[in-house]
Amino acid sequence: MAVIDLAKYSEKQIPKVRSEKLAKDSSVSSFMNTEITLFEKKFGPKEKEAFYSELGLLLSTGVDIKTAFEIIEEDIPNKKHKALLEQIKNDIISGMRIFEAVSKHEKVFSKYEAQSIKIGEETGKLADVLKELGIFYLSSIKLRRQIVGVMTYPVVVISMAILIVYFMLSFVVPIFIDIFTQTGGELPEITQFLIKVSNKSSAIFYTLFVFVGVIVILHKTQKKKEWYRKYTSAFFLKIPVVNKLIQKIYLARFCQSMKLLSGARVMINEALELVRNMIEYYPMEHALEMVKNEVVSEGKLLNESLAKHSIFPKKLIALIKLSEEVNAPEIIFEKLYQQYSSEMEHQQAVIGKLIEPIFIVILGLFVGFILVAMYLPMFEMSSGTF
């Protein structure tokens, strides 16, 4: 693989006249990094998937790093994304290793990505690592689309239900109230209750909107705080069916990441630390932190430490134990990743099928309750009991 080995160049070999240029590039990089994160279209999973896949493919065919970046830049329409890759390319040409150039943009590229690239450079498997990163982000994109697809229907149904109920309480029910008031009869309790709700409908729905707004703001401002992540993850893990899907999502990510790192022959403690920083799921992060400490300080095997945490299924632990015995972690983690990915898709399909009838029933109950409450006095009037 004809890839430029930038690791062999020392700092002394970099011309002194470039030191000022490197300092300026660093400040430009810092400014550009901030600008990228504030820009509406971020250098997100979709862009990263294309970048890593194309760069890995080009390097594997023998294209040098400079030419590879130039080829990729030509197909990028976004000027800020192109400027980002241009900066990384210039840093590499100036003498930096690829992972060092990427690490400068810490708000765009995670520590996991930078360390994976570093591992690829040190082991001579850079092209393979880049392709694996591309596959990782491709699976992330696919997962996000599946989740959006599953959640679109309930969001639409809930929104329609709220609008329909609000319209009926605010406009339809008052018409019936006027009719019932003229009769002077005693209304059924269910109708009286609905009238009270109708009189307070505006306040109820304004409160609901404020509540939703507070939840959104709380999520935006606190989503990276430990207390928020701890309690939200605990809440979702208590929801039937959904908790299984969430568990499989992060188990698939764990296995995919461990497969990449074990294939690159990364030390187990370093691999666990990288995966912990990347996983972004509190129960698993907390578990991996404890596992890493036990593996490093007490010399325990990975399967022994994982067995103490319920987030990891017994089958996964048994297969990891097997991989440690036969020294084939990469193969086992690949099989586990494929298995959890398949189970994850099945779980999403199940949730999708459950959500549709559940929300139809809920909407029907709301509308049915209003109709019964309104028409019950009319039936009593026709029978002479009102």
Model confidence over 12-43: pLDDT tens digits?
A: 333 333 344 434 444 444 444 444 444 346 88
DSSP-assigned states of every residue in 265-304: T--HHHHHHHHHHHH--HHHHHHHHHHHHIIIII---HHH
Q: Per-residue pLDDT tens for 268-312? A: 888 888 888 777 788 898 899 999 888 888 888 899 999 999 889
Q: Which of 12-21, 171-180, 332-341 has the lowest mean pLDDT?
A: 12-21
Question: pLDDT (tens digit, 9 = 90+) per residue, 238-253?
Answer: 888 788 888 888 898 8
Q: What are phi and psi of 97, to 5 degrees?
A: -75, 160
Cα-based distances in Å from 71 to 43, 56, 85, 362: 18, 12, 11, 54
State both tokens at 241. Answer: 């069916």
Element (H, E) at 40: none
Taking the C-alpha atoms of residue 352 and residue 376, their distance in angstroms, rounded to an integer, is: 36
Tell me what pLDDT residue 2 has: 38
Share of the chain above pLDDT 70, in %: 87
pLDDT at 21: 40
Is the pLDDT confidence value at 214 over 90? yes
User: How far is it, in rounded angstroms, from Cα 198 to Cα 174?
Assistant: 8
Task: Give ∠ CA 351-251-282 in degrees, rounded to 5.
Answer: 95
- Could you report the per-residue pLDDT of 65-104, keeping only the tens digit for each? 999 999 998 888 888 898 999 999 999 999 999 989 998 8
Residues 274 and 112 sit within 8 Å (Cβ to Cβ): yes
Residues 6+ apart with CB under 8 A from 50: 134
- Whether pLDDT at 384 is above 80: no
| CB neighbour list of residue 297: distance below 8 Å, 6 or more residues apart | none
Residue 317: band (very low, low, confident or very high) from pLDDT cuts 50, 70, 90: very high
pLDDT tens for 97-154 read 998 999 888 888 887 788 788 878 887 888 888 888 888 888 778 777 777 777 777 7
166 in Cβ contact with 205 (< 8 Å): yes
Angstrom distance (rounded) from CA 54 to CA 57: 5
**Averaged pLDDT score across all residues of the chain:** 80
pLDDT of amino acid 5: 39
Q: Is the pLDDT of residue 180 over 70?
A: yes
Average pLDDT of 171-186? 75
19 vs 254 pLDDT, higher one: 254
Distance CA 206, CA 193 (A): 20
| Threshold 0.75, pTM exceeds | no
- Is residue 204 within 8 A of residue 197, CB to CB? The reply is yes
Predicted confidence band of residue 6 (pLDDT cuts 50, 70, 90)? very low
